[in-house]
Amino acid sequence: MKTVSVKTGRPYEILIEHGILDNAGEYIRPLTKAIRAVIISDTNVSPIYSDRVKNSLEKSGFETSVFVFEAGESSKRLSTIEKMYTHLFENNITRTDIIIALGGGVTGDMAGFAAATYLRGIDFVQIPTSLLAQVDSSVGGKTAVDLPTGKNLVGAFWQPILVLIDSDTLNTLPEKFFKDGLGEVVKYGCIRSKSLFERLENENAKDFIDDIIYECVSIKRDVVERDERDTGERAILNFGHTLGHALEKLNDYTNLTHGEAVSAGSAIITRISESHGLTAIGTAQRIENLLEKYDLPTNSEFPLSDIINATRGDKKSTGKSIKFVFLKEIGECFVQKIDTADFGEFFGV
């Protein structure tokens, strides 16, 4: 087992081990006095894994129920959260009980938000089953839902009490969503780990997936510990995301996955920053080559003007400017604000 300790306002551990789903209850029980547990999952993941986690929880003394919502980003709405609240109420969940987020990034975001807000906050555990959730979204305490006007615009910071990562779940992950997670993995190589980026270039990601998960969550842990509330350094984790979120919005949160959007956003923003002399020459091409190796997009069918216009409602907007993350070179990044009034000149639109 690999362990990553996260020392935030509420410290917790990330446990990485094959087959840990079947022992989830054993690891959760010592951390809580909860009588009842609610597993929140989606229609893709629940039929495969809910019973295993439920059996483990019940063996450890939890009265356990399961709430299942329709899989997909389109469910990441306040209307779904309201249905979760109803399930929690009907199953007599109190402030001392617990929520288990079992699934990918959408599940973790919504279950975490429900935990943060129901009865003004109850404990929850992240059990991520997608690569994207395992390397990124399950760690750090950001929870959120989308609005029709933009992604993750309603949310809360709410740290889990434990994260259990079982890379065996990736064996049932459709190839499209494995590649989706690699979009975030490439991001970590770009912003903080040249060695990870080079391994991704020279090896097959599936051949060292446990190392990938451990390194990505370790990088995120380090950043989150220094900036838990996202007021400074944590912004670097948004490399490729500002344009990526715009692309998701333009696609109506369908067809294009989050990781695919981040991949395209990363390539586009690096081409632009390189053209301004902010990024070492050749960096954009290396990123494009790596993304293409894993069959991830490097561009969009939407005009750049439409993409840039769609960033104006981004949650990273501060007054009349938006923070963008640029690379100096592979493994080194920085954050720079760009005034919205200067968008036309900077982006050439």
Secondary structure of the chain as H, E, C letters? CEEEEECCCCCEEEEECCCHHHHHHHHHHHHCCCCEEEEEEECCCHHHHHHHHHHHHHHCCCEEEEEEECCCHHHCCHHHHHHHHHHHHHCCCCCCCEEEEEECHHHHHHHHHHHHHHHHCCEEEEEECCHHHHHHHCCCCEEEEEECCEEEEEEEECCCCEEEECHHHHHHCCHHHHHHHHHHHHHHHHHCCHHHHHHHHHCCHHHHHHHHHHHHHHHHHHHHHHCCCCCCHHHHHHCCHHHHHHHHHHCCCCCCCHHHHHHHHHHHHHHHHHHCCCCCCCHHHHHHHHHHHCCCCCCCCCCHHHHHHHHHHCCCEECCEEEEEEEEECCEEEEEEEEHHHHHHHHCC
Q: Which residues make Cβ contacts (< 8 Å) with residue 234, sequence separation at least 6?
A: 140, 223, 224, 226, 227, 228
Instruction: Report the alpha-carbon distance of residue 294 to residue 199 in Å, rounded.
Output: 13
Nearest to 164 by CA among 24, 341, 339: 24
Are residues 129 and 103 in contact, defined by beta-carbon separation less than 8 angstroms?
yes
Q: What is the pLDDT of residue 149?
A: 84
Amino acid residing at 163:
V
Amino acid residing at 256:
L
Q: Which residues make Cβ contacts (< 8 Å) with residue 278, sequence separation at least 6?
A: 326, 328, 336
As given in the structure block, the two tokens for residue 298 are 């490097």
Q: What is the pLDDT of residue 304?
A: 96
Q: What is the pLDDT of residue 132?
A: 97
Beta strands 321-329 and 332-339: pairing type?
A: antiparallel
pLDDT tens digit string along 189-202?
999 999 999 999 99
Instruction: Report the alpha-carbon distance of residue 283 to residue 194 in Å, rounded.
Output: 12
Domains of the chain: 2-172 (3.40.50.1970), 175-347 (1.20.1090.10)
Residue with tokens 């960033």: 311
Q: What is the pLDDT of residue 106?
A: 95
Q: What is the pLDDT of residue 43?
A: 98
CA dist 77 to 98, 190, 242, Å? Answer: 21, 31, 20
As given in the structure block, the two tokens for residue 261 are 């959007």
Strand order in 321-329's β-sheet? 317-318, 321-329, 332-339
Q: What is the pLDDT of residue 234?
A: 95
Ramachandran angles phi, psi of 17, nearest 5°: -160, 140
Query: Along the 349 residues of the chain, how does pLDDT read in single tens digits?
Result: 999 999 999 999 999 999 999 999 999 999 999 999 999 999 999 999 999 999 999 999 999 999 999 999 899 999 999 999 999 999 999 999 999 999 999 999 999 999 999 999 999 999 999 999 999 999 999 999 999 888 899 999 999 999 999 999 999 999 999 999 999 999 999 999 999 999 999 999 999 999 999 999 999 999 999 999 999 999 999 999 999 999 999 998 888 999 999 999 999 999 999 999 999 999 999 999 999 999 999 999 999 999 999 987 665 666 689 999 999 999 999 999 999 999 989 998 8
pLDDT tens digit string along 255-297?
899 999 999 999 999 999 999 999 999 999 999 999 999 999 9
Q: What is the pLDDT of residue 318?
A: 66
Are residues 56 and 82 in contact, defined by beta-carbon separation less than 8 angstroms?
no
